[in-house]
Amino acid sequence: MKMAELKGTEKQVAWANDIRNKGIEFCEKYDFSFAKQKFCDMDSSKWFIDEWRGLTSRGNKFGMVANLMELNIQEETRIIREKNGRAIKHKERVQILDSYEKYRNIDSEVDYKINEFWSDGQYLWGGSISGQN
């Protein structure tokens, strides 16, 4: 998969590239293909550093896995909304969320994120193509 060239200072690009590579590794491990594509397409070193630096730090990675799962769902639903030109319908929402149930019991942070999607994922399903209400 081709990756966009990162923009920023030499130091930022090097750091962002490490973060990107670790993120792609997690995306491949958990089959987050939409998040992986976003990581490949993004050219902002700042975005990787500000949003995803936790991927390369020591400690519990499950918060980052939960965030990658959220990014994956955001990208998946964005693509569906753009393709269909409408908000996500209830049946589609259930199908999408059911496909993420396999990640339950990985960690409490992942479970919490899945529960959050089921209970209040309106920003994902929104009334417009952009997902904004």
Structure tokens at 101: 């149930």
Beta partners for 44?
A: 7
Query: Is the separation of the CB atoms in 26 and 55 below 8 Å?
Result: yes
Structure tokens at 131: 């997902």
Structure tokens at 69: 């799962």
pTM of the entire predicted model:
0.85
131, part of any domain = no
Long-range contacts from 107-111, C-beta under 8 angstroms, 24+ separation: 107/60, 107/62, 107/65, 107/66, 108/62, 109/60, 109/62, 109/63, 109/65, 109/66, 110/62, 110/65, 110/66, 110/69
133, part of any domain = no
2, part of any domain = no
Q: What's the DSSP call for residue 7?
A: B
62, part of any domain = yes
List, for residues 60-109, the tens digit of each pLDDT value.
788 899 999 999 999 998 998 899 998 888 888 889 889 999 998 888 88
Structure tokens at 64: 């980052």
132, part of any domain = no
List, for residues 8-17, the tens digit of each pLDDT value.
999 999 999 9
Structurally, how many domains does the chain consist of?
Answer: 1
What values do phi and psi take at 87, rounded to 5? -70, 160
14, part of any domain = yes
- Note down the domain range covering 106: 10-125
pLDDT of residue 121: 59
